[in-house]
Amino acid sequence: MSAEQLPRTPETARLLRFETFRDLYFAERSRRESIRASIGIPAAGLSFALFAFLTLSSHLEIRLLQEAHPPSIAMTALALAAMFVLFVSVWHGFRAEWRFVYSEPPDLEEFLRLEREIHRRGAADDQAALQREVEAQTRDLLTASYYVAYQRYVAGNTHSARQRAWALRLVFVGVLLLFLSAALLPFHLAASG
């Protein structure tokens, strides 16, 4: 069945389809901004973890590691594991930002091209019909553009939200490992005394 054989879509259905995809597009666009804003949460956790790691490393006595002091080895192992987990968290943070989609509806040039094409095809004596055709074609173009942009935003937002969630989880694990490492610091300092 060709496009000419398809039954014409009623104007109310076309308008409803346009409004639906426009609203979905703007909802996903605002979700994108919300995800971008919330990436700051893992970033703040990373800066705290970096400060904690620097504090631990300033108190580390290499001599105790060479003497195989168990609390010192455990403290160092936990801190190194935290550092690895936090690096992976940073990677997930980068990936959350990487896949953000920037898709906008067509620009004015596309609309003007469409209008010129319809005017070229249309009869000059039936201006009302020509205007309705321009409006319908423009609305259909916008509907298709909103639909494509919406689909891209859904895919990009889903990926970015998943990466952001992993970054946040890994920051929590890294901070927990640093906390456990810091809990061993008094035993390490007592042995270095």
Residue pLDDT, tens place only, 165-177: 999 999 999 999 9
Least confident of 21-30, 78-87, 124-133: 124-133
Nearest to 135 by CA among 110, 108, 109, 115: 115
Report the chain's mean pLDDT, rounded to a whole number. 80
- pLDDT of res. 3: 45
Angle at 52 between CA 50 and CA 57, to 5 degrees: 95
Can you say how many angstroms the Cα of residue 180 is from the centroid of all Cα atoms in its chain?
Answer: 31
